[in-house]
Chains A and B, each alone.
Chain A
Amino acid sequence: MSIYFTKEHEWVKVKDGIGAVGISEHAAHELGDITFVELPKMGAVVKQFGVLGSIESVKAASDIFAPVSGKVIKVNEALEVAPEIVNESAEDAGWMAWVEIADESELKNLMTQEQYDDYLKSL
C-alpha cells in the first residue's frame, strides 16, 4: 500500500483502486484538540482538491480537501462521537473516508512520503 499527501496536509492510502483518506499527523498536531469532524455523505462524488468535509479544533475550523477524485464508499462514523481519534491516530484510526478512485493517474499530483517530509521541513 502506498501513501500520498497533498499540500493541504491530507493523505490517501491506495490499495486495489480504493483510497483511504485522512489528515496528516502534522495537520492534526497543528490544529490541536479536534472537537468536530464533518464527514462526506456516503455515495458523494468528490473531485481532486475539492471540498471533502471539514474539521474543527478548539483553535480553528478548516476544510478537508479530497486528495483524489471518486465516489465516497465508506465513512468513519466513529469520528462523529469521538473526533479526538484524529489527534491520537491521524494517519491510521483517524481515517475519514474511503474513496473509489476514479483516475489513478491523479496520484502524480500528490507527494510521496519522502516528498511530504521534505515539504514539511520547508514550511
Chain B
Amino acid sequence: MDEQLQATPICGRHRALNALMAPFGGWDMPIQYEGIIAEHSWCRTQASLFDICHMGEFIFQGDFEAGGLEDVFTFSVKTIPLGRSRYGFLLNEQGGIIDDLIVFRMAEDKVMIVVNAATAPKDFAAIKGRLKGGSFTDITAATGKLDLQGPLSRYVMVELFGEEVARIPYFKFITVTILGVEAIVSRTGYTGELGYEIFISSDKVCELWDLFLQDERVKPAGLGARDVLRLEVGYSLYGSDIDEETTPLEAGLESFVNFDKNFVGKDALLRLKEQGVARKKVAFEVNGRRSPRHHYEICFEGETVGNVTSGVFSPMLGKGIGIGFIKPELASIGTPLTIRHERVSMEATVCELPFFRDGSVRA
C-alpha cells in the first residue's frame, strides 16, 4: 500500500468489517462493505453511515470584508445567515474551479469552510493567498465527519440527540452536545436523501461511528455507493465532472455564482458569458443496462462531440446514466447520442437533471 496514504480514525473499523479499501484523494477509504448496490438501496430506503473524515475543514475568524474573505468565493459569505450554509466555488483567475465547497456561518465573525479531500492543500493555499487579515486555520486533522443519510436518518438522529435535531431545515445546522463534546449537525449531504453531516472532534468520531451502528436501521456505506447516489441526483464530483479547466458556466452551475459581488475569476466568467461557452455539461440516459464511464467518447451522427465525465448503472432507473461535456448546440433535451469506447457502443438521449427525482432530501 502507498505509504503516502492517510487513514481516517475509522480505518480500523472498516478493516474489521472486511471493507474493500482503495485510495481516494490521498486517503485510504472504504469503497464497499457488503456491495455497492445493496448499500445504495439501503441508503435510499433506510439510513446509511459514511466515513467522510477525509474531507477538509478550515476556520476563518475575523472581519469578512476587511480580511478579504468576502471576495474569495463565487458567493457572498457575509450574507449567509447564522446557522446556515452555502454551496459554491473557489475559482482561479481564468474562472476554472479550484474546488466546490460549503461555507458554514458559525458566528458573526466566524465561518467553517468544508472542502474536498484531494484539493484541501491547494484550497488552503489559494484562500490564504487571497486573505488580507483575520485568522485562517486548517482543522482537518482535529475534525471527524460522519454522514448519516437516508429517509430514516431523522428518527435515528432524534432518538440519539434529541428533538431539536428534527427541526433543522435543509442547509441549516445546529450545535449539539454529542458524547460530551460540542458537535455540528448539518442538514446537508451528497445522496439526494434526507440526511445529516456531523462534525465532531476526531478523537470522538470512532465512538460516534459505533453508536450509530448499534441502531439496526443504520448500516455503513462506502464511497462506491456514494458515487452512484450522487450521480443519480446529478451532483458534480470534483476531479471528474469539474476541475480547474472547467468553469461553472460550462458545468451548468451558474446559479451558485453571484455576479453582483466581486470574486476571483469574475472577469473571466463575464468574458466567457459574452463569447459563449465552447462546451456544456449534459446529462444523458442510456437505452439499456450498459454503464457509460469516465473518458468514454460522446458521438453525434458519427462524429465525436465530447466525452463522458461520470457514468454508472442507476439501480433506481434500471439503466445507464451519465454526465459529460459536448458542443452547446447539441445540449438540448432529447438529442440522440452514441457513447463509445473501444468495442463498446451504446445509444443514449440527453435528459434533464436530476435523473432520480423521488429522494427524501427535502422531507
Q: What residues make up the interface of A, taking CB atoms closer than 8 Å to B?
A: 32-33, 35-36, 38, 51, 54, 56, 58-59, 61, 63, 83-84
Contacts and interface: CB of A to CB of B under 8 A. Distances in A.
Contact of B37 (A33, A36, A54): A33
Interface stretch (B43-51, B83-91, B190-198, B288-296): B288-296
Given A32-B35, A33-B35, A33-B36, A58 B289 contact: no
B313 interface: yes
12 contacts: A32-B36, A36-B288, A36-B290, A36-B313, A36-B320, A56-B289, A56-B290, A56-B291, A56-B313, A59-B224, A83-B289, A84-B37
A71 B259 CA distance: 65
B221 interface: no
Interface residues of B, number: 19
Given A33-B35, A33-B37, A58 B313 contact: yes
A36 B37 CA distance: 13
Contacts of A84: 37
A104 B219 CA distance: 50
Contact of A58 (B37, B288, B290, B343): B37
Q: Most A CB atoms within 10 A — which of B31, B289, B312, B343?
A: B289
Contact of A51 (B38, B228, B320, B343): B343
Contact of A32 (B32, B288, B290): B32
Contacts of A38: 290
B344 interface: yes
Contacts, number: 43
Contacts of B288: 36
A83 B35 CA distance: 15
B36 A54 contact: no
Interface in B4-34: 20, 31-32
A84 B313 CA distance: 13
Contact of B291 (A32, A35, A63): A35
A98 B123 CA distance: 56
B293 A58 contact: no
Nearest to A58: B36
Contact of A35 (B32, B224, B313): B313
Contacts of B37: 33, 35, 58, 84
Interface string B234-249: 0000000000000000
Interface in B283-316: 288-291, 293, 312-313
